[in-house]
């Protein structure tokens, strides 16, 4: 005798299925330098994929601490180093955009002097991790609000 299934359902289709495992967000990090590469007052540029675009970023050693920012001035969204990889100014106390001389605090990325409308804005920080002497960068979540 042939079995009848309601609505054409076959036993395999009625089988209870386990819920899909929750997808966990995978955050990629990128090796950008060895900690010993940069002395205080030195910088290194690198590319980092941010929302599908390779963005130029830069790593600095400021008084023994590493920081990284997107190479994008907050006055006009353009690279800050007119002279390649030259970010520090004033005896390495500040970062400076060479186009119109906006000055930024190296440890916070805050603009403290420069063209009107720029002061008080922050460079876009790139999160860093230091693991076994290797510096890794993670693409920032922060949206760029300057076009």
Interface with ligand FES (CB under 6 A): 73, 75-76, 78, 80, 97, 99-100, 102, 114-115
Smallest gap from Cβ 98 to ligand FES, in A, equals 8
Pick the closer one to ligand FES by CB: 74 or 135. 74
Strand (E) or helix (H) holding 56: strand 53-62
CB 88 within 8 A of CB 39: no
Pick the closer one to ligand FES by CB: 98 or 138. 98
Pick the closer one to ligand FES by CB: 79 or 128. 79
Give dist(CA 83, CA 87) in Å, integer: 9
Smallest gap from Cβ 58 to ligand FES, in A, equals 14
Pick the closer one to ligand FES by CB: 99 or 138. 99
Give dist(CA 121, CA 104) in Å, integer: 9
Contacts of 58 (CB under 8 A, 6+ apart): 43, 44, 45, 46, 68, 69, 71, 81, 85, 87
Smallest gap from Cβ 120 to ligand FES, in A, equals 14
């Amino acid at each position: 005798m042939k079995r009848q299934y309601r609505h054409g359902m076959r036993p395999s289709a009625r089988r209870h299925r386990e819920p899909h495992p929750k997808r966990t967000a995978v955050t990629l990090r990128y090796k950008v330098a060895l900690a010993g590469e940069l002395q205080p007052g030195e910088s290194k540029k690198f590319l980092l994929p941010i929302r599908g675009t390779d963005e130029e970023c830069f790593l600095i050693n400021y008084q023994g601490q590493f920081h990284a920012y997107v190479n994008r001035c907050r006055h006009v969204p353009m690279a800050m180093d007119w002279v390649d990889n030259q970010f520090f100014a004033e005896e390495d106390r500040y970062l400076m955009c060479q186009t119109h001389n906006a000055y930024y605090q190296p440890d916070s990325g805050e603009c403290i002097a420069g063209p009107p409308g720029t002061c008080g804005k922050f460079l876009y920080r790139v999160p860093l991790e230091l693991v076994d002497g290797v510096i890794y960068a993670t693409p920032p979540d922060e949206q760029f609000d300057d076009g």
